């Protein structure tokens, strides 16, 4: 008898949608079948929207916004006809399910830019139904992924601790190793963030807009300290953990590079905050930038500029060029 794959989760799935509309931009919303296509055509006729479907997916406007997204950031189908009339993918986001070799991994996509608002104490949501994808990894790669996920959950884990393990220092480091920070400055300083951020729609780009002028000013000779609040540090590890567990990155990128890509986002976002002695920073800005980054790094055009190959990733970790 065929047994169903186990359902695996990192913990309770806590989420509250804040109707920000960010997930309604820049993503291709594929319609699952003829019934769904007919339902969307009916909804479009009702709402007076022409040509709602292009190549089997919802049409996007020139800036990437869904054709059904209203100016007040609501889904016109949801607002007028009810949530159950939206495409399935939209009903399910940010729930995700990945069929891995150990079972169905269910969780919440950290690219929802409101993740930080409800990840600790939001209402529990049912893990299913969820957007599903199959991603199986060879045993050695899966073991490395599990090792990284375990590290994010180690007692007292912080971002410096996590980076320390990458560079072979298993102590609970109080700060980032300066050579690692210097190399991160070099990579981030060369990233043309403005041109790649717009790929995912105006709201994602706006969440990282404050990083754009900051990154080219990063000086590898004088890397800034990493000043994360404990809550932002914990959230950053949560983003790494979810991205790895749900295998949300580009399948071409191995887990340890996925983790590095998110880490670079943590540094970019943290280094773009004003010093604590100046105007108190907006506590939502960093986690929202990180969620936007978690989405951006999935695009080949983005990660290929930052860490195009294993050699660059190893250089970031060790400083050794090959």
Residues that bind ligand SF4 (CB under 6 A): 17-23, 93-94, 112-114
Q: Are strands 95-100 and 57-58 parallel, antiparallel or unpaired?
A: unpaired
In the bound complex, what is the minimum distance in angstroms from residue 151's beta carbon to ligand SF4? 27
Query: 23 or 264, CB closer to ligand SF4?
Result: 23
In the bound complex, what is the minimum distance in angstroms from residue 125's beta carbon to ligand SF4? 11
Query: 183 or 207, CB closer to ligand SF4?
Result: 207
Taking the CB of residue 28, how many other CB atoms lie within 10 A of it?
Answer: 11
Give the residues across from 30 on adjacent strands: 57
Written as six digits, the tokens of 4 are: 């169903």
Kindly report whether the peptide bond that precedes residue 307 is cis, defined as omega within 30 degrees of 0: no
In the bound complex, what is the minimum distance in angstroms from residue 18's beta carbon to ligand SF4? 4
Query: 23 or 261, CB closer to ligand SF4?
Result: 23
Give the residues across from 100 on adjacent strands: 103
Query: 111 or 188, CB closer to ligand SF4?
Result: 111
In the bound complex, what is the minimum distance in angstroms from residue 231's beta carbon to ligand SF4? 19
In the bound complex, what is the minimum distance in angstroms from residue 121's beta carbon to ligand SF4? 16
Written as six digits, the tokens of 210 are: 């404050």
How many whole angstroms separate alpha carbon 254 and alpha carbon 85?
Answer: 37
Query: 18 or 42, CB closer to ligand SF4?
Result: 18
The continuous run of DSSP H or E covering 98 comes out as strand 95-100
Check residue 8 and report its DSSP letter: E
Written as six digits, the tokens of 29 are: 């919303």
């Amino acid at each position: 008898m065929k047994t169903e794959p186990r359902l695996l989760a990192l913990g309770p799935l806590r989420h509250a949608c804040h109707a920000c509309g960010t997930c309604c931009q820049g993503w291709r919303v594929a319609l699952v079948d003829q019934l769904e296509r007919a339902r969307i055509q009916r909804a479009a006729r009702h709402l007076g929207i022409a040509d709602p479907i292009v190549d089997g997916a919802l049409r996007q406007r020139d800036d990437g916004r869904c054709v059904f997204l209203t100016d007040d950031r609501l889904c016109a189908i949801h607002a007028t006809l009810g949530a159950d009339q939206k495409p399935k993918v939209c009903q399910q986001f940010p729930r995700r399910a990945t069929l891995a070799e150990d079972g169905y991994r269910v969780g919440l996509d950290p690219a929802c830019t409101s993740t930080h608002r409800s990840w600790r104490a939001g209402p529990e949501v049912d893990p299913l139904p969820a957007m599903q994808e199959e991603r199986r990894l060879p045993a050695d790669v899966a073991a490395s992924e599990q090792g990284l996920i375990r590290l994010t959950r180690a007692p007292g884990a912080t971002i410096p601790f996590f980076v320390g393990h990458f560079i072979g220092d298993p102590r609970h480091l109080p700060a980032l190793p300066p050579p690692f920070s210097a190399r991160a400055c070099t990579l981030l300083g060369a990233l043309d963030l403005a041109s790649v951020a717009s790929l995912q729609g105006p709201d994602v780009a706006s969440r990282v807009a404050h990083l754009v002028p900051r990154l080219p000013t990063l000086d590898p000779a004088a890397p800034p300290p990493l000043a994360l609040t404990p809550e932002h540090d914990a959230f950053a590890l949560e983003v790494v953990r979810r991205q790895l567990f749900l295998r949300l990155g580009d399948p071409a990128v191995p887990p340890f590079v996925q983790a590095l890509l998110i880490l670079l986002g943590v540094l970019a976002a943290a280094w773009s905050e004003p010093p604590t002695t100046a105007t108190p920073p907006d506590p939502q800005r960093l986690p929202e930038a990180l969620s936007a980054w978690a989405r951006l790094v999935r695009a080949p055009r983005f990660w290929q500029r930052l860490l195009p190959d294993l050699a660059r990733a190893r250089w970031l970790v060790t400083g050794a060029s090959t």
